[in-house]
Homo-oligomer: A and B are copies of this chain.
Amino acid sequence: MIPDHSPFTIEHSVAMSYEQKLKELKIELPLPPKPLATYVPAVQAGELLFLSGVLPMRDGQLAFSGKLGRDLTVEQGMESSRLALLNVLAIAQQELGTLDRIIRVVKVVGYVASAEGFVQQPQVLNGASDLLVEIFGEAGRHVRVAVGAVELPRGAPVEIEVIFSIS
């Protein structure tokens, strides 16, 4: 609707991109993790981008393992979910070319490997949720589902599944 020479377009073009925001926050994305089998990291369907479940990987290795409430503190759990989310963003960037195609973070499902009696899944997942809002602002506010899992692949403490809406 707005012609290319419009001042609104110019104003928009000087707004900070999400990649610039990452730099400002001194956040470096990891290399996107490779799927462990015949599935793929991301699939686009209409305006939605679905991502595979992502573990807290660093340099091709799990950076944390074990269960919350037994092997890891809540703080370590938060670091795990934050790291898993960085891997999510690395996948999205690889798939879309740029994070600026993200219109909204729609949904985060977080599975937390939980020992008997551990019920602080929400706190653990704030490591991911808070980072989303830090980077994307209002567009980073998502619906969330926090669940305790008896075990997760490779012994990971958290697994994060995200849906974005994209342009």
Chain A residues proximal to chain B, CB less than 8 Å: 35-43, 45-48, 50-53, 104, 106-109, 111, 113-114, 116-123, 125-126, 129-130, 132-133, 141-155, 159, 161, 163, 165
Tell which of B39, B47, B121, B145 touches A141, judged by Cβ atoms closer than 8 Å: B39
Q: Which residues does chain B contribute within 8 Å of A152, judged by CB atoms?
A: 119, 121, 147-148
In contact, A39 and B129 (Cβ under 8 angstroms): yes
New A-B contacts (17) at CB < 8 Å, excluding given A119-B153, A148-B152 = A37-B123, A37-B125, A38-B129, A38-B141, A39-B129, A39-B143, A40-B143, A45-B48, A50-B106, A52-B144, A109-B145, A109-B161, A119-B152, A121-B151, A121-B152, A148-B151, A150-B150
